[in-house]
């Protein structure tokens, strides 16, 4: 029988394997070691196995945490920086924008940062305005960094192992609702290269490009639409937003001639804006009508779970918008 792990367990296994292979790999962040073992328990057991040299607890100071990661990486180490919540990366934004992203160029490639910044994000039952955001689009505008957003446990492990040994800084987005998700994860060694999308569901009537947890929402919506209208929807999980696999998207659009992009970030200047521009610039002749974007309202995310549901896409709202688009 294939082995199953949760998303959190897959991330933990990736870190454990890389720490065993290379003493320069270490995890640093708030409460990642003794006691709490990370806000979402991803690092459970790692402190007991590797000790305080590879599992480093820090004060509540995101700017300092990231600065330590950048400095260690400049000295040839491979830090994994964990921010307790994605939202808190704003405190350390200068470290990403003006430091980590620019080291390779400004040092004439004397330095290449093996730096991973793990960001748990997204909504989860009313975590509120400062703990629920999806900020991928902000980082897409920064040259010099890679952006990864795995959906399955298999991809979480393979992409994290690739990120740990990558020579550019990697922003690694982890949606909070995915941590308990189970899936098959091989025991043998493997990595997943950046820039290679996954076909999460094959279809012929519509191409849906979904980001992070919205892949699962899209899969649920696709089953409903198949049952109600016999629509056969293809769903693409980009895996990485930078680099972005336009080739796989292009093959799908040439087959379906229609596309919808779904993300949890807000619609204004979102991930969908960039992807739709790439499609319109490169695949316009294959489209029957313009790209449709489905995203969160241009709103601060409310604390109330009921109001949150009105802001963020869900399977019901996705079904309704696709019906409005395709069903006459």
Q: Which residues are catalytic?
A: 131
Torsion region of 18: left, alpha or beta (phi above 0 gives left; psi -120 to 50 gives alpha): alpha
Q: What is the DSSP string of 148-215?
A: E---SHHHHHHHHHHHHT-SS-EEEEEEGGGTT-EEE--SS-----TT--EEEE--SSEEEEE-TTHH
Contact 181, 174 (CB under 8 A): no
Q: Are strands 198-201 and 233-237 parallel, antiparallel or unpaired?
A: antiparallel
How far is it, in rounded angstroms, from Cα 2 to Cα 8? 18
Contact 191, 244 (CB under 8 A): no
How far is it, in rounded angstroms, from Cα 114 to Cα 112? 7
How far is it, in rounded angstroms, from Cα 289 to Cα 79? 45
CB atoms within 10 A of CB 36: 15
Contact 253, 247 (CB under 8 A): no
Contact 129, 183 (CB under 8 A): no
Torsion (CA) 5, 232, 223, 265 in degrees, nearest 10:
70
């Amino acid at each position: 029988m294939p082995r199953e792990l949760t998303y959190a367990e897959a991330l933990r296994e990736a870190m454990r394997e890389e720490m065993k292979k290379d003493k320069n790999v270490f995890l640093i962040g708030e409460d990642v070691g003794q006691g709490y073992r990370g806000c979402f328990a991803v690092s459970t057991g790692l402190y007991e196995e590797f000790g305080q040299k590879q599992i480093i607890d820090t004060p509540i100071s995101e700017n300092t945490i990231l600065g330590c990661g950048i400095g260690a990486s400049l000295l040839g180490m491979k830090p994994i920086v964990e921010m307790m919540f994605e939202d808190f990366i704003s405190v350390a934004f200068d470290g990403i924008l003006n430091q980590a992203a620019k080291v390779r160029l400004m040092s004439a490639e004397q330095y290449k940062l093996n730096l991973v910044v793990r960001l748990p994000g997204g909504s989860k039952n009313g975590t509120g305005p400062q703990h629920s955001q999806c900020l991928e689009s902000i980082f897409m505008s920064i040259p010099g960094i890679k952006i990864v957003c795995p959906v399955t446990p298999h991809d979480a492990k393979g992409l994290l192992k690739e990120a740990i040994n990558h020579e550019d800084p990697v922003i690694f987005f982890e949606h909070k609702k995915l941590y308990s998700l189970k899936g098959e994860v091989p025991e043998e060694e493997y990595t997943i290269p950046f820039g290679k999308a996954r076909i999460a569901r094959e279809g012929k009537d519509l191409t849906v490009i979904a980001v992070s947890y919205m892949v699962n929402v899209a899969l649920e919506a696709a089953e409903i639409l198949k049952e109600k209208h016999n629509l056969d929807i293809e769903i693409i999980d980009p895996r990485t937003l930078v680099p972005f696999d336009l080739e796989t998207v292009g093959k799908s659009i040439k087959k379906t001639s229609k596309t919808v992009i779904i993300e949890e970030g807000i619609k204004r200047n979102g991930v969908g804006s960039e992807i739709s521009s790439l499609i319109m610039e490169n695949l316009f002749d294959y489209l029957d009508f313009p790209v449709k974007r489905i995203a969160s309202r241009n709103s601060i995310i409310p604390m109330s779970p009921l109001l949150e549901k009105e802001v963020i896409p869900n399977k019901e709202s996705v079904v309704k918008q696709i019906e409005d688009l395709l069903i006459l």
